Chains A and B, each alone.
Chain A
Amino acid sequence: MSDLTTALARAGLLTVEQRQHWRMAWLSTVDHKRIGILYMVTALAFFVLGGVEALLIRLQLAVPNNTLLHPDTYNMLFTMHGTTMIFLVAMPALFGIANYIVPMQIGGRDMAFPRLNAFGFWLVPFGGILLHFSYLAGGAPAVGWFAYAPLSETPYASQLGVDYWVLALLVLGIGSVGTSINLIVTVLTQRAPNMTLRRLPLFSWMIFVNSFLVILALPVLNAGLVMLLIDRQLSTNFFLPPGGGSAIMWQHIFWAFGHPEVYIVAIPAFGILSEVIPVFSRKPIFGYEFVAGSTVAIAFLSLLVWAHHMFTVGLGRTVDLFFVASSMLIAIPTGVKVLNWSATMVGGRLRMTTPMLFCVAALVQFLCGGVTGISHAIAALDWQTKNSYYLVAHFHFVFVGLIVFAILGAIHYWFPKMSGRMLSERIGKWTFWLMTIGFNLTFIIQHFLGLAGMPRRVYTYPVLPGWAWMNMASTVGAFFMAAAGLLLVWNLAVSLVRGKPAGDNPWNAWTLEWASTSPPPHENFHELPPLRSRRPLWDAANPDRPDPMVGTKWKAETFVPEKNKASVITFIISEVGFFGVLILAYLYYNATPRPGPSAHDLDLFKTGIFSLCLFASSFTIWRSETNLEKGHHRPMIAWLAATILLGGVFIVGQGLEYWHLLQSGVSVSSNLFATTFFTLTGFHGLHVCVGLVALLIVLGFAVARDFKQNHSASLYAVGLYWHFVDAVWVFVLSVVYILPHFR
């Protein structure tokens, strides 16, 4: 035995015991199931934290003229509560469930990129710690979860809290984009044979669609965040009107992300409802096609209608009108979805277990939240209720009433699969009723508080008719929810140790994850049942009356792309959003000439020459790829080296331009031209540098002759990225250098 240990140690391998030690098994795991659980445990920890913050808020508001919390502390608490619940609870929890369930539902072995997956997860605790570290660094941000400028700018928030907030959100945003890219590529490339796109279970389908929403929306926020950070750290004026900037621009950028964000957390919740409700109604979902298709429509519409968050800003009646109409439209696909779920239950043999209870409650509460949502789409009504507790009640009905309830349903539904043990149904029902009563007590009453005129984000209120008892009732409700949270943790802990063994398929469900053992083996499946419809386990159990077969008439639905290429293309889509915002910001801020440096101080001739180098490098990398295809090793390396050289020349050229500008006294804070110029070209330069590093790594592989089987795909992937970087420069060059000469 000790011989074996020393032999393994000499080879740099681990023994079985070392592998099973929790540090190796959990902290360095790349298994999607364990990462999924890590996500969920992290989300649960932050849920407790965000919940405690909420309880403190409710305690402060329980009675009028309360002095429990200092006003500044109160502001920090509601900011941190909102940020935590959205970025550190809802998103990680849903990513965790997706991480665990999606590869299993599609009959896959793991995610497409297990290490990217681990990276995406570890950014969550990192971002969370970064955010909460602000408490120690002079105070947490106290500017609300949407950090409206100019309140979030240095003159009004001089502490470091907002900077930590920005950095944390950037870290979390990058992690979310990475995980979403991974989920998209996983669904596209890791499906079992015969698991065509039209046979995907609805949860996986919705996660797939939703991941596109993440990669389109998050980069917009990231662009806004870096602009805010540059404002704060380099004294520029993106969002500061006195310096020529625009505070409204921050709102546009934030809500261009913020509105889709609502759907980013809601669509996976829809997915959960679409899995749980049919199973416990013993019927297939009513109208799979509509539920699947309308998800695409909802995702698409959500990207367009952000301005309805800004009715009270004063965009003008014209703008309001368009967004009233388009926001109302969202109610149609969403409303029909509610009908789909209801119709699934009609005539079914309902089994009111805990997961089903949570999902039915989520459905009812979402309907309420949706109706108040429609009332907010009416601008005239919105003017009265915006920034009142009516709004607070509305979005809590969506975020808690739908999303948290759906997540709780999912936990109760999939816990047996993950742990191999059943949760206690008795404690589960207690959890459910405490949660439902507490939630509705807390938030129904807030509608009336809002209509009675109570504004949100006030740390206390005077004695006014009805306000005191309504606030007290709301606080009592919050403690009911806290009790439910404690029961949930207790249930999870006890059942993990003493729960009834679950068996493979305790709910008689129909999707592939239930075809594996509970908990599933490391490799997920030993064998898969035949796949020909959307409910393979139903077909297997009822061979005499299987579901109608879902055909494979489209090539696109069995198409499996190469995974490196697919990941780079999805990454490029997300980068388009980031650069799109920066380029639009450049155009916006330079629409009218400003005093100080301008585009005419730039040297178009020199930059033109260096740009030619960059464009030439697109050609050289293409030559390198064709040589790789033909198996010509040396020319391939030569062209690759030429690419790196040309890219390097371009970067040196950019450096020279920066040097000359700085020498002549033009710095990033000179005026908004300089700010937008350095921001846009700087981020492009950064991407070129990243591309160069990637190319150098590929070159290293190529020189080491490690290319034949393993890494040839990486050249194509990096090549695509490199073309993208060049394409961005075409736009930057035209907008920044050439366009001003035509005015």
Chain B
Amino acid sequence: MTTTQFLISGWTWNAADVLLAVASLVVYVTLFGVHRRIGYFAAALGVFLLTQLSPLNTLADGYLFSAHMAQHILLLLIVPALLLLSLPRSVSLAVRPRPLGQPFLGWSAGVGAMWFWHMPAFCNAAVSSRPIHALQTASLLVLGCLFWRQILAPSEQERLSPPGAVIYLFSACVACSVLGIVLTLSPVAVCSIYTMPAQDPFGMLRTIREGWGLTPDRDQQIGGLLMWVPMCLIYLSAIFAQIGRWFAEPAEPAAVKLS
């Protein structure tokens, strides 16, 4: 199968995902009406469906570790962030009991999701078993929301202060970059199931290996590099936004008397 054919026929129809998306849209509209932030929600659903139905999912499903990584990043960092951004300001995401709302737990959720699903056993299991794969997808979305809640919670009081948020994001980025560096430089295959795909339903393996030049080594390298570099740029954008939030302040009238 050539690349073009694959891009056309690589789409999969997953009724559960589509139903989920439609149902959540209905819930959103019922709860908040057609709010002006609905664009974020639509974007979140769009990215989610893209990761589940598009050829990216087909590639991630046994062919390419790097495609899996792209999917992983979108599900953990992009979709939850868009979801939180879509909530109106009035929504409270306060967690009870209070200790569960600690920044450290949110941080661990985001970083832990990265490390846990890239331990060789779990990484392989998530590809070979459908239920575990579904569990992985769901856990990434939930953990991603827990991670971003500290930064993007709709109500200002539930967010970290900007300097704290910068440290939060920076350290999360370093913790994930380290994993990316490990994956990039590792002399052994981390997610070995991708080196020898058990089946080749689309007849794509030859195109991937020879046409695209993606050997298993290089594939893992790209996966690691995706985590090392572009993923950090997501954190960096968030850091920039936080610095902007810190310095943003309506200038007070200069006429204030000096004390």
> A residues engaging B (CB < 8 A)?
197-198, 252, 288-289, 292-293, 296-297, 300-301, 303-305, 316, 318-319, 322-323, 325-326, 329, 530, 532, 539-540, 543, 545-551, 553-557, 580, 584, 587-588, 591-592, 742
Contact = CB atoms under 8 A, between A and B. Distances in A.
B198 interface: no
B168 interface: no
Interface in B233-259: 233, 236, 239-240, 243-244, 246-247, 249, 251-254, 256, 258-259
Given A551-B252, A554-B163, A556-B161, 16 more contacts: A292-B243, A293-B243, A293-B247, A296-B166, A296-B239, A297-B243, A300-B173, A303-B174, A319-B225, A540-B258, A548-B251, A548-B252, A548-B254, A549-B254, A554-B246, A588-B186
Contacts of A252: 185
Given A289-B247, A592-B187, A592-B188, A554 B252 contact: no
B221 A319 contact: yes
Contacts of A742: 121
B240 to A, nearest CB: 6
Contacts, number: 99
19 contacts: A197-B163, A297-B240, A297-B243, A305-B229, A316-B221, A318-B218, A318-B221, A319-B225, A323-B229, A329-B233, A532-B256, A532-B258, A539-B258, A545-B254, A550-B249, A556-B161, A556-B162, A584-B178, A591-B187
Given A296-B239, A548-B252, A592-B188, A543 B258 contact: yes
B211 interface: no
A259 to B, nearest CB: 14
Contacts of A587: 182
Contacts of A548: 251-254
Nearest to B232: A304
B254 A547 contact: yes
Contacts of A543: 258
A555 B161 contact: yes
Contacts of B256: 532, 546, 549
Contacts of A551: 249, 252
A546 B229 contact: no
Contacts of A318: 218, 221-222, 225
B18 interface: no
Contacts of B239: 296-297, 300
Nearest to B218: A318
A553 B249 contact: yes
Nearest to A295: B243
Contacts of A539: 258
A584 B174 CA distance: 14
A584 B181 contact: yes
B250 to A, nearest CB: 9
Contact of B182 (A289, A293, A546, A584): A584
Interface in B131-185: 161-164, 166, 170, 173-174, 177-178, 181-182, 184-185
A556 B165 CA distance: 11
B254 A546 contact: yes
- Grouping DSSP codes into helix (H, G, I), strand (E, B) and loop, the B interface class, with mixed when no group exceeds half, is helix
Given A322-B229, A554-B163, A546 B187 contact: no
Interface in B176-212: 177-178, 181-182, 184-188
B163 A557 contact: yes
A477 to B, nearest CB: 39
Contacts of A550: 249
A595 to B, nearest CB: 16
Nearest to A296: B243
B60 to A, nearest CB: 18
A289 B251 CA distance: 13
Contacts of B228: 304, 322
In the A-B complex, list the 6 residue pairs whose CB atoms are closest, starting with the nearest.
Answer: A293-B243, A289-B247, A548-B251, A556-B161, A556-B163, A322-B225
Q: How large is the interface on B (under 10, 10 to 19, 20 to 34, 35 or more residues)?
A: 35 or more
Nearest to A583: B178
B186 A591 contact: yes
B251 A297 contact: no
Given A198-B246, A304-B228, A554 B162 contact: yes
Nearest to B177: A304
B221 A300 contact: no
A587 B240 CA distance: 33
Nearest to B237: A297
Contacts of A289: 243-244, 247
Contacts of A554: 161-163, 246
Contacts of A540: 258
B67 to A, nearest CB: 14
A94 B133 CA distance: 53
B178 A580 contact: yes
Contacts of A546: 254, 256, 258
B244 to A, nearest CB: 7
A556 B236 contact: no
Nearest to B257: A543
Contacts of B185: 252, 588
Contacts of A319: 184, 221, 225
A197 B162 CA distance: 12
B163 A292 contact: no
Interface string B211-224: 00000001001100
B181 to A, nearest CB: 7
Contacts of B174: 303
B244 A293 contact: yes
B178 A325 contact: no
B224 to A, nearest CB: 9
A590 B239 CA distance: 36
Contacts of A329: 233
A252 B253 CA distance: 52
Nearest to B187: A591
Nearest to A289: B247
A300 B243 CA distance: 13
Nearest to B254: A548
Nearest to A329: B233
A225 B21 CA distance: 54
Listed residue (B164, B166, B186, B243) with the most chain A CB atoms within 10 angstroms of its CB: B243
